[in-house]
């Protein structure tokens, strides 16, 4: 199988058929074997019956029906795990982006030898000014954490190699940071400008998420990937150890300062808040170090139980 297209659906009964027809026509022009995987994420409308009808008439279509609404991350994860293609496409079922433009992303992936190409939505419709400002701020923060510049990191319009999708584990709203997560695993990343169209149906609502939630997810991903993949530059003992040593050092410095005042200047330090602060910082420092040690044990247990390798391989020859 050459191409697998993953489409997560949630109450999109009005656009599924048009999406299927346009997507099938586009994929048919590629001259490659393909499959389209629809993930019905707990829809309460007629989405599943429409998908079932399409699947019965087209052997290229596969479908998964969730027992309840699990969210987009779970939908994409299910699609990735059940896909058989060498290349994985993802797109939104709302037709905000044209399926025909997948060709542009695929050509970029092949010619540039990239691992992932994301559609940069130009002239995005909808969104309040405050939301746009928050989005720009989020991209700035992401560029500080990850050595890449992203113009549209949350775009659902993507093409990637299967070895990338198979390594991804999506939780919460981490689907919004999928290119960031892939980059942390060492993927070569690129963007291609695509058109963004307004929603056809007023009752359809674009998926929104909290900036704070996304930033927290980013911090979690950075810490987890840095501590479980080479070069292991943010293991728990290193991260917590630095905080612990810093806190302890500041606490000891305050303690030494107060001791000098007591011994050489005869000042009373028993009732000073700084004395309590010194003890508090030293205790917190010790706790940070202990947390780092526990985190290290948990990470090592994770590697052993999951039989996870401590290295990643891009290519193999004659194996």
Residue 176 sits in a domain whose CATH number is: 3.90.550.10
Tell me which of 228, 250, 267 is where a domain ends. 228
- Res 21: pLDDT: 96
State whether 146 and 39 are in the same domain. Answer: yes
**Closest-CA residue to 190 (of 87, 122, 104):** 104
pTM of this structure: 0.72
* Domain assignment present for 314: no
State whether 116 and 11 are in the same domain. Answer: yes
* Domain assignment present for 315: no
State whether 259 and 298 are in the same domain. Answer: yes
State whether 146 and 222 are in the same domain. Answer: yes
* Domain assignment present for 312: no
State whether 142 and 193 are in the same domain. Answer: yes
- Res 19: pLDDT: 96
Domain membership of residue 163 as a residue range: 3-228
DSSP the chain: --EEEEEEESS-TTTHHHHHHHHHHHHHTTTS-EEEEEEE-S-SSSHHHHHHHHHHH-TTEEEEE-SS---HHHHHHHHHHH---SEEEE--TT-SS-GGGHHHHHHHHHHTT-SEEEEEEET-----HHHHHHHHHHHHHHHHHSSS--S-TT-S-EEEEHHHHHH----TTGGGGHHHHHHHTT--EEEEEEE----SSTT-------HHHHHHHHHHHHHHHHHHSTT-TT-HHHHHHHHHHHHHHHHHHHHHHHHHHHHHH----TT-HHHHHHHHHHHHHHHHHHHHHHHHHHHHHHHHHHT--SS--S--S--
* Domain assignment present for 319: no
Per-residue pLDDT of the chain (319 residues; tens, 9 = 90+): 899 999 999 999 999 999 999 999 999 999 999 999 999 999 999 999 999 999 999 999 999 999 988 888 889 999 999 999 999 999 999 999 999 999 999 999 998 888 999 999 887 765 555 555 656 666 666 666 665 667 788 889 999 999 989 888 887 777 877 887 787 677 888 999 999 888 776 455 545 555 666 666 666 666 666 655 555 556 677 778 888 999 999 999 999 999 999 888 888 888 888 999 999 999 999 999 998 888 778 766 766 676 655 444 445 444 4
* Domain assignment present for 145: yes
- Res 34: pLDDT: 96
State whether 244 and 220 are in the same domain. Answer: no
* Domain assignment present for 316: no
Tell me which of 179, 198, 228 is where a domain ends. 228
State whether 65 and 122 are in the same domain. Answer: yes
Q: Domain count for the chain, please give it.
A: 2
State whether 15 and 125 are in the same domain. Answer: yes
State whether 146 and 201 are in the same domain. Answer: yes
- Res 239: pLDDT: 75
| CA–CA distance, 16 with 21 (Å, rounded to integer) | 9
- Res 269: pLDDT: 84
State whether 196 and 250 are in the same domain. Answer: no
161 contacts 87 by C-beta, under 8 angstroms: yes
* Domain assignment present for 169: yes
- Res 318: pLDDT: 46
State whether 126 and 184 are in the same domain. Answer: yes
């Amino acid at each position: 199988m050459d191409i697998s297209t993953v489409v997560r659906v949630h109450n999109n009964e009005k656009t599924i058929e048009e999406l299927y027809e346009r997507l099938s026509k586009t994929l048919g022009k590629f001259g490659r074997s393909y499959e389209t995987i629809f993930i019905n994420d707990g829809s309460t409308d007629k989405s599943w019956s429409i998908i079932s009808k399409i699947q019965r008439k087209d052997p290229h279509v596969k479908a998964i029906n969730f027992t309840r609404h699990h969210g987009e991350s779970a939908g994409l994860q299910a699609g990735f795990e059940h896909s058989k293609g060498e290349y994985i496409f993802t797109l939104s079922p709302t037709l905000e982006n044209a399926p025909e433009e997948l060709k542009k992303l695929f050509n970029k992936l092949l010619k540039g030898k990239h691992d992932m190409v994301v559609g940069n939505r130009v002239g995005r419709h909808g969104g309040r000014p405050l939301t746009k400002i928050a989005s720009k701020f989020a991209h700035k923060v992401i560029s500080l954490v990850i050595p890449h510049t992203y113009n549209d990191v949350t775009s659902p319009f993507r093409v990637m190699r299967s070895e990338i999708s198979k390594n991804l584990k999506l939780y919460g709203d981490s689907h919004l940071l999928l290119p960031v997560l892939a980059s942390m695993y060492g993927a070569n990343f690129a963007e291609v400008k695509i058109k963004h169209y307004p929603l056809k149906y007023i009752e359809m609502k674009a998926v929104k998420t909290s900036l704070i939630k996304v930033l927290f997810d980013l911090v979690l991903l950075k810490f987890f990937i840095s501590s479980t993949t080479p070069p292991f530059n943010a293991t728990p003992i290193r991260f917590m150890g630095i905080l612990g040593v810093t806190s302890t050092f500041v606490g000891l410095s305050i303690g030494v300062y107060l001791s000098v005042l007591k011994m050489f200047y005869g000042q009373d330090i028993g009732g000073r808040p700084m004395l309590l602060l010194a003890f508090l910082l030293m205790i917190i420092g010790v706790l940070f170090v202990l947390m780092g040690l526990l985190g290290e044990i948990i990470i090592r247990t994770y590697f052993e139980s999951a039989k996870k390798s401590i290295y990643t391989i891009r290519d193999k020859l004659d194996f």
